[in-house]
Amino acid sequence: MPKDASGLLIPGVLAPPRPVRPDIARPEYVGKPAPASYAGTNIYSADEIEQIRHAGNISSRALDAIGDAIAPGMTTDEIDALAHEVVTSYGAYPSTLGYRGFPKSCCTSVNEVICHGIPDNTVLDEGDIVNVDITSYWHGFHGDMNRMFTVGQVSDVAQNLIDHTREALNRGIKAVAPGRQVNVIGRAIQSYAERLGYGVVRDFTGHGVGTHFHSGLIIPHYDSSPLYDDVMEPGMVFTIEPMLTLGTYEWSMWDDGWTVVTKDHALTAQFEHTVVVTERGADILTLTLPTL
């Protein structure tokens, strides 16, 4: 996705597939059109949670490396190369590669792209904002997260959108507690975001994650009560990944079947963590830790 004359993104050219060392274990869905269906638990043991935390640590370290490298002139494919290199260097598999046919090792969503942008020959320009979403699959468990990055100097409006989206995720995480329905998370996010005048995307949600990339448990980012009434329990693992916009929350999809853009082409931002419900609240499983 390079840009057209008015600065909007257009589809670009993809580089050939990146190989993964044969000793790295693949998720079951790789090479298949869709993952096996899952109706199992979202509750994990203490040992399993440490495996998910390990996967999340790898994803976070890959994003740290991208943050160090990002600069005007870099392409989104170069971001993908770095994501692929860091994730596989720790013996993990980049979960998006071959997920329902997604061709790359991360998602790169620039400016008006809400989510699921495909890395290609798009050149990042001064003033762009870009979300990078990385999931690592390690010893049978996925750790899913994303972050925003700024390219050179960005506008105050763009910086505020990013800061407020990060805070919206924090509000959602703070709403997590055992005994509450998962719809309290979206209520906290929506009330914060709409007070500041942002749109909150509804049709892309957080999700259960662990042995499966998307378990079937849905975590909305808006107030969906009385729907989505799953009750949180200690050991339950899911993502929270709000997408805020400067305009409408309506979206359209490119013909590539992946890239989701705001219908009005307004800027949008997202942050994502994988969390586990604890006795007291939530513990974030996608942080860079001192050891790995």
Q: Which two tokens stand for residue 290?
A: 């001192």
Residues 228-257 touching ligand MF3, rule: CB under 6 A, are 239, 241
Q: At a CB cut-off of 8 Å and minimum separation 6, what does 197 contact?
A: none
Q: Does 165 bind Co ion (CB under 5 A)?
A: no
**Pattern of binders to ligand MF3 over 121-160, x per CB under 6 A?**
------------x-x--------x----------------
Q: State which residue, 12 or 143, has the beta carbon closest to Co ion.
A: 143
**Pattern of binders to ligand MF3 over 3-22, x per CB under 6 A?**
--------------------
Distance CA 216, CA 133 (A): 19
Q: Does 239 bind Co ion (CB under 5 A)?
A: yes
* Alpha carbon of residue 209 to chain centroid: 12
Q: Which listed option, Co ion, ligand MF3, none, makes contact with residue 96 (CB within 5 to 8 Å by class)?
A: ligand MF3
Select the residue interacting with ligand MF3 from 76, 96, 183, 262 (CB under 6 A).
96
CB of 204 to ligand MF3, least distance (A): 8
Bridge partners (DSSP) listed for residue 148: 131
Q: At a CB cut-off of 8 Å and minimum separation 6, what does 185 contact?
A: 172, 175, 176, 206, 219, 220, 221, 240
Grouping H, G, I as helix, E, B as strand and the rest as coil, residue 144 is: strand
Task: For tokens 């949008």, name the residue.
Answer: 268
Q: Does 26 bind ligand MF3 (CB under 6 A)?
A: no
Q: Can you give the binding site for Co ion, defined by CB under 5 A?
A: 133, 144, 146, 239, 272
